[in-house]
A and B are shown apart, each in its own frame.
Chain A
């Protein structure tokens, strides 16, 4: 199955069709998506800012990351649960949208980083031993997430 036919299949599903035919569904799911964005962003920012020496900077990184973790996971779950149906309703628009592919690329990289390397950064003593590297990784992570947000907003402008 090619990528295009997968997108066509998503578009044709009952979920996609129901959302397209409804006045309220898309806006409401979109609003939930935005709330999930706020939650995800807040819980990630808190830790990345700590790596950069800002915000709650007097607490150990590992503890702060542990505190923020369930909220980050919760935010990501809300984003996926609302984002997938939104995508299904307009997958054909997404397929031809540059912003969508920018978002997906950034999202993939951001998720891979978050669930692999980032755990080592926040659990270990990288901040003490290699502060420069910790800062660089924090900036890279924030850049990727900003790319996700940018791409997401611009899908709507195309």
Chain B
């Protein structure tokens, strides 16, 4: 069974249909997703700006990072839970959405960036903790993180638009390839 078939089937389940057709549940989950974005992105943004030497220059980097980390993690957990719920309400369309796929790839890259930062320059943070402008490797990690999270927010917002959806044919062959769309099976809306 392909993932397309699986999500098509899951989209027929009472859970998915119920959430999709609910009067308030979907909108409330969506609102919580946006609210939590403030906590999650807000806290990560401040850490990134500190790594770039653009704010809180007198506060040690490790203090900014460790004090805000619980908020970042808490925010991330809520983001994932609400995100999964939103996905489960419209599984097939979201799975095939080009912006959703872009977002997932960027999320993996953001995770990779965090891992590289923590296993690299951050291990020696005590050497540069009090520097108002951190070393280049740390600034690079902060800049990449900021750029990736901004792109993740933009691509997340774009999932709402159906320009490249499978049920809107004709699409360029490359689009149908990137969205795992078989135009011969696509049903017009």
Chain A residues with a Cβ under 8 A of chain B: 23, 27, 30-31, 34-35, 37-39, 41-43, 45-46, 49, 54-59, 63-64, 67-68, 71, 146, 149-150, 153-154, 157
Contact = CB atoms under 8 A, between A and B. Distances in A.
A45 B153 contact: no
Given A23-B163, A55-B68, A67-B55, A157 B42 contact: no
Candidate in B45, B59, B161 with the most chain A CB atoms within 10 angstroms: B45
Contacts of A154: 27, 31
A30 B154 CA distance: 9
A138 B119 CA distance: 37
A42 B42 contact: yes
Nearest to A28: B154
A30 B38 CA distance: 16
A103 B57 CA distance: 34
Given A27-B157, A27-B158, A71-B55, 17 more contacts: A27-B160, A34-B34, A37-B37, A38-B45, A38-B153, A41-B42, A42-B41, A46-B42, A56-B56, A56-B59, A56-B63, A56-B67, A57-B67, A58-B67, A149-B34, A153-B31, A154-B27
Contacts of A35: 150, 153-154
B interface majority secondary structure: helix
Nearest to A42: B42
Given A31-B153, A157-B27, A38 B71 contact: no
B39 A45 contact: yes
Given A35-B154, A153-B31, A45 B42 contact: yes
Interface string B14-54: 00000000000001001100110111011101100100000
The residue among A31, A68, A149 with the most chain B CB atoms within 10 A of its own CB is: A31
B136 interface: no
B58 interface: yes
A155 B58 CA distance: 41
Given A55-B68, A58-B63, A38 B37 contact: yes
Contacts of B38: 37-38, 41-42, 45, 149
Contacts of A23: 163
